[in-house]
Amino acid sequence: MPDDKPQPELPSEPTPDGATPAVRLEHVSKRFGATQAVRDLSLKLQAGEVFAFLGPNGAGKTTTLRMTTGLLRPTSGRVWVCGYAMAEDGRLAKRHIAYVPDQPFIYEKLTGREFVNFTRDMYGVPKRLAAERLADLGARLDMDGFLDQLAESYSHGMKQKLALTAALIHAPRLLIVDEPIVGLDPRTVRVIKDIFREIAHAGGTVFMCTHTLDIAEAVADRIGIIHEGHLIALGTLEELRQTAAYHGRLEDVFLRLTEGEGARGDDRHPG
């Protein structure tokens, strides 16, 4: 559990406009044996943005997210979160992070409420404040009728909701989510989109990895595309269209950027 000592001021790692990036990856690479998963990736995410990280299967997306959280160490390069170097000040960096993986781990012999309270205590959130946040999230995500049931009885979608609720209970400055809407009903997807935009509006950052290009197109301020470990495109949707030389939906732009000439020979036109 975090101690009660005052948190030191963030080190100054400014961007040209004077802001400290929420995430800063500098020449980061990761190798697993003979496999090079991520290759010399540099990236900055700012406070107040929703950032979507896209790529084909095996492109290096989840590896990048795990290096950002500190769950994996880069083979080379450096990672900062909210101004803290993950290698030297990982404990301080992790105070600001919440991570929801694509297969969230839930203690299934706890009720949903007990699991959220466990997370609350880990981060030292005052009980009254956590209860207010849980009441709001429980109502918005239609969890009120399930919070006092054992998590082992939950569907995949309910486990996703519970994992997100627990992640948000300490109001993280950086929310990292891998495939945030898999198994969720359309209403919940809409609520989660709203929550992501609210986090950004409040000055937080959402770093999401997804294969659901519609959600990226709907909520992301910027998009990064990784392919075979390389960051091949970065920017707003309009900037990606310029890079791809194609003014279409994100799905078409993504295919053109990741499939090269084979995609450019496609006869489809934007709707």
Mean of pLDDT values over 75-94: 96
Check pLDDT > 80 for residue 68: yes
**Could you tell me the two tokens for 83?**
């101004």
Check pLDDT > 90 for residue 170: yes
**Could you tell me the two tokens for 117?**
């309270």
Q: Which is nearest to 245 in space by CA: 263, 227, 219?
A: 263
What's the rounded Cα separation, in Å, for the pair 251 and 271? 12
Tell me how crowded residue 62 is: count the other CB atoms within 10 A of its CB. 19
The strand pairing partners of 23, in sequence order, are: 45, 81
What's the rounded Cα separation, in Å, for the pair 248 and 267? 12
Specify the pTM. Answer: 0.87
Scan for tokens 């990606």, then name that residue: 240
Distances in Å between the Cα of 223 and the Cα atoms of 173, 183, 201 are: 19, 23, 18
Fold of 17-96+173-271: Rossmann fold (3.40.50)
Computed over every residue of the chain, the mean pLDDT equals 89
Query: Predicted confidence band at 9 (pLDDT cuts at 50, 70, 90)?
Result: very low
Question: Is residue 105 within 8 Å of residue 149, measured between CB atoms?
Answer: no
Residue 19 vs residue 149, higher pLDDT = 149
Query: Predicted confidence band at 64 (pLDDT cuts at 50, 70, 90)?
Result: very high
Q: Where are the domains of the chain?
A: 17-96+173-271, 105-171
The sign of the CA dihedral 129, 190, 163, 173 is negative
Mean of pLDDT values over 45-64: 96
Predicted pLDDT at 260: 64
What single string gives the DSSP state of each residue in 86-146? HHHHHHHHHTTEEEE-SS----TTSBHHHHHHHHHHHTT--HHHHHHHHHHHHHHTT-TTT
Query: Predicted confidence band at 11 (pLDDT cuts at 50, 70, 90)?
Result: very low
Distances in Å between the Cα of 43 and the Cα atoms of 183, 210, 224 are: 30, 17, 9
Predicted pLDDT at 270: 32
Mean of pLDDT values over 18-35: 92
What single string gives the DSSP state of each residue in 20-89? PPSEEEEEEEEEETTEEEEEEEEEEE-TT-EEEEE-STTSSHHHHHHHHHTSS--SEEEEEETTEEHHHH
